[in-house]
Amino acid sequence: MEDGRRRVVVENVRPEVDAGRFPAKGSLGEPVVVEADIFGDGHDQLTAVLLWRPVGHREEASWREVPMAYLVNDRWQGSFEPRRTGTYEFAVQAWVDHFKSWEHDLERRDRADAAAELEEGAKLVDEAGRRAPAADAARLGRFGDALRGANGLRTARSPALLKLMEKHGDRSQAACSPRTPRVLVERERARFSAWYEVFPRSTSPDPGRAGTFQDLETRLPYVAGMGFHILYLPPIHPIGRAFRKGRNNTVSGTRNDVGSPWAIGSEEGGHKSINPDLGTLDDFRRLVKATKRHGMEIALDIAFQCSPDHPYVREHPEWFRQRPDGSIRYAENPPKKYQDIYPFNFETSDWRALWDELLSVFLYWCEQGVLTFRVDNPHTKPFRFWEWALARVREQHPDVIFLSEAFTRPKVMYQLAKLGFSQSYTYFAWRQEPWEIQQYATELTTPPVVDFFRPSYWPNTPDILTEQLQLGGRAMSALRFVLAATLGASYGIFGPSFEQVEVRPLIPGKEEYMDSEKYQVRNWDFEQPSGLQDLITRVNAIRRDQAALRHDRTLRFLRTDNERLLAYTKTAPDGSAPVCVIVNLDHQQRQSGWVELPALAESEYEVVDLLNGPVYRWRGAGAWNYVMLDPALTPAHVFRVGAPLRPPE
């Protein structure tokens, strides 16, 4: 039976994902903030501490401890900041603090009984001294003597004494959180990143010639100059010829068609080989190193599927589903058909060998210097496989980042995030009205979702050209970009198509591009004056300089009197200057209105428009402030909210 003298309850600890079944997400550069409901019977004062330690490090097996602070309504909070990647565990411990209770009540008691009260406090100090090591015991002994002396009341209020007593309090009846939740701490790029997707074969400066890794290398200064962190490449493997798709996804391609990079595998090799049209393995390794020199990194697309020409099809037919006539079933997502792709059969009796082989694909590219992967359609593979594979990769390469490309049901997307995917695509492209943007972004940045799901906002992809972008032209692309880059700490664009405002659909109302790079080589003119390069460069610079935009948890929406104006703020964990973003969601007309900024100061304060340049004086104490945005000039204000201005003397 539990000791009946234990009087404290610890419950509702967060972050805790599915009662500790999965780790929460953390990253270097941000504290792990832990909260819990902590309470006891009666009116005694409590003390609570947060215990934490890395998992799997014998040299750091001891618990570290930080104090927790009372917030409101029996809610307590503490935090720790990890110094390296890996898994951490934590616990909350709390107890009735008899000395703190005594000190709290001392001021209320009759001064005539001061000597007796001080003697009671001195005895509590004596008991703590017997629990403390020699140095602290000696200090506590002196404090006990002082409490019994002429200045006892002054000594009772000593912060140094209170700190010592908290350190050596009586924890014999302490309560602890029922579980030890875990946090997977990743590097900063898992939390804050800007992705630029580009097809290497479309980087040639010569019209009519397909690009190579060497051509892409010459474009690195351009991409880095816009401020991107991650250069994401679609599959770079050999492309099958059987059922090769033609331009604009025609079923029958010609001998001159280059095919879809997602139809992986040919006589030249499979998932561990490179399309010879792009270059050699040495060329790729050189590209990886050159990308790092420009302050970026390569992300590779991992698509676990095969063309009919893939060596796996010949060597392991048991890894694929077969029709009654013995032919292998190709991929379908009705009404879409992918005759050039065979999905794996994860229910094969040879599933262990299949798992091992697919794991080896990740490990092979890690050995080539790649530590970031965009995983294609993970929701069509077993959850158990991902939990196993991602953990095995991290055992050897703890800094690997995985982006989940799963446009599917919310619970499935969330499960993949819990299983270990660092970031996840979202429904952002289809959230277009102010209320649905606010509702969705709020869902992603509040518990419980924010504890395990990191959104990556993409206004377009090779498969997604929304009707909004098709009809809205440059102004619509500009405002959607600002939303993506400021609502989320991580975002991405399908490179040249987006920045050059390439918005021609294959069929009006459909989301497929005309002349899609998925099926043909494109040659881009990066000097087009209508492009978004300048806006992209400016916003990425703001994201780099403003710590508030490098986090998701602090997103808060503001009230406006014009529904076409979407306003929100972000703050940084270190308390640096908040950022306030106001976006005009009307790409055709100028919109104006009033925005209510939360009370930051009673006086006026300065707001600097980091995107457009002007400096304004706004009123404090939660006052409403006027804004006007003309889409012909700018899609948004991005304000840095400064310190309060002193009133004139």
Residue 620 pLDDT: 67
Q: Tell which residue, 281, 461, 296, 270, has the closest CA to residue 371.
A: 296
574 is catalytic: no
C-alpha distances (whole Å) from 257 to each of 52, 280, 520 are: 57, 21, 7
44 is catalytic: no
Structure tokens at 245: 């798709």
C-alpha distances (whole Å) from 617 to each of 187, 551, 557, 576, 604 are: 38, 26, 21, 19, 6
Mean pLDDT is highest, among 103-112, 186-195, 322-331, for 186-195
CB contact set of 457 (below 8 Å; sequence gap of 6+): 426, 428, 483, 484, 485, 487, 488, 490, 491, 492
Q: What is the pLDDT of residues 433-459, one digit of tens each?
A: 999 999 999 999 999 999 999 999 999
- Spatial distance between the Cα atoms of 527 and 503, rounded to a whole number of angstroms: 18
Q: Considering only 3-17, 116-130, 518-532, which range has the smallest mean pLDDT?
A: 518-532
Q: Tell which residue, 581, 584, 577, has the closest CA to residue 601.
A: 577
Residue 268 pLDDT: 97
CATH (residue range 556-644): 2.60.40.1180
Q: What is the pLDDT of residues 530-589, one digit of tens each?
A: 789 999 999 999 999 999 999 999 999 999 999 999 999 999 988 778 999 999 999 999
- Spatial distance between the Cα atoms of 145 and 155, rounded to a whole number of angstroms: 10
Mean pLDDT score across all residues of the chain: 93
| DSSP percent split of the chain into helix, strand, coil, nearest 5 | 30, 25, 40
Helices and strands (H and E) in the chain: how many: 15, 31
Split at pLDDT 50, 70, 90, the class of 599 is low
Residue 648 pLDDT: 45
CA-CA-CA-CA dihedral for 434, 440, 445, 451, to nearest 10: 180
- Spatial distance between the Cα atoms of 617 and 171, rounded to a whole number of angstroms: 53
Beta strands in 401-454 (DSSP E): 401-405, 423-425
Domain boundaries, the chain: 8-185, 188-302+351-550, 556-644
597 touches 625 (CB < 8 A)? yes
Q: Give the chain's length.
A: 649
Instruction: Give me the percent of the chain exceeding a pLDDT of 90.
Output: 81
Split at pLDDT 50, 70, 90, the class of 111 is low
403 touches 421 (CB < 8 A)? yes
CB contact set of 460 (below 8 Å; sequence gap of 6+): 429, 466, 469, 493, 494, 497, 498
Residue 367 pLDDT: 98
Residue 645 pLDDT: 59
Number of CB atoms found within 10 A of residue 560's CB: 19
Phi, psi at residue 493, to the nearest 5°? -135, 150
Residue 601 pLDDT: 53
605 touches 645 (CB < 8 A)? yes
Radius of gyration of the chain (CA): 30
Q: Tell which residue, 302, 314, 203, has the closest CA to residue 262.
A: 302
* Residue 598 clears pLDDT 60, i.e. is over it: yes
- Spatial distance between the Cα atoms of 495 and 566, rounded to a whole number of angstroms: 26
Mean pLDDT of 244-253: 90
Through-space distance between the first and last CA atoms of the chain, rounded to whole angstroms:
69
Compute CA 488 distance to the chain's CA centroid, rounded to the nearest angstrom: 8
Split at pLDDT 50, 70, 90, the class of 88 is very high
Q: What is the pLDDT of residues 142-159, one digit of tens each?
A: 999 999 998 888 888 889
- Spatial distance between the Cα atoms of 123 and 147, rounded to a whole number of angstroms: 10
Calculate ∠ Cα 7-11-13, nearest 5°: 140
**Do 556-644 and 8-185 fall under one CATH topology?**
yes
Residue 112 pLDDT: 60
| Residue 567 exposed, middle or buried by CB count within 10 Å (0-12, 13-18, 19+) | buried
CB contact set of 8 (below 8 Å; sequence gap of 6+): 38, 39, 40, 46, 94, 95, 96, 173, 174, 175
Of residues 282 and 172, more confidently modeled: 282
* Residue 483 clears pLDDT 90, i.e. is over it: yes
CB contact set of 38 (below 8 Å; sequence gap of 6+): 8, 9, 10, 46, 48, 68, 74, 75, 76, 92, 94
- Spatial distance between the Cα atoms of 378 and 403, rounded to a whole number of angstroms: 10
Residue 385 pLDDT: 98
CA-CA-CA-CA dihedral for 334, 338, 342, 345, to nearest 10: -10
28 touches 59 (CB < 8 A)? no
Split at pLDDT 50, 70, 90, the class of 649 is very low
Whether cis (ω within 30° of 0) applies to the bond prior to 647 is no
- Architecture in CATH for domain 8-185: Sandwich (2.60)
* Residue 597 clears pLDDT 90, i.e. is over it: no
Instruction: Give me the percent of the chain exceeding a pLDDT of 70.
Output: 97
Residue 52 pLDDT: 97
Q: Considering only 96-110, 217-231, 456-470, 541-555, which range has the smallest mean pLDDT?
A: 96-110
The per-residue DSSP string of 142-200 comes to: HHHHHHTSTTHHHHHT-HHHHHHHHHT---TT-EE-SS--EEEEE-GGGTSEEEEE--G
444 touches 552 (CB < 8 A)? yes
Q: Which of 97, 376, 511, 552 is catalytic?
A: 376
Residue 57 pLDDT: 78
Q: Which of 127, 405, 511, 552 is catalytic?
A: 405
Of residues 107 and 546, more confidently modeled: 546
* Residue 313 clears pLDDT 70, i.e. is over it: yes
So what CATH class is 188-302+351-550?
Answer: alpha beta
C-alpha distances (whole Å) from 14 to each of 50, 72, 92, 180, 250 are: 12, 16, 10, 11, 51
- Spatial distance between the Cα atoms of 485 and 581, rounded to a whole number of angstroms: 11
Q: What is the pTM of this model?
A: 0.94
Residue 91 pLDDT: 98
Q: At what angle do helices 351-367 and 383-396 cross, to 10 degrees?
A: 40
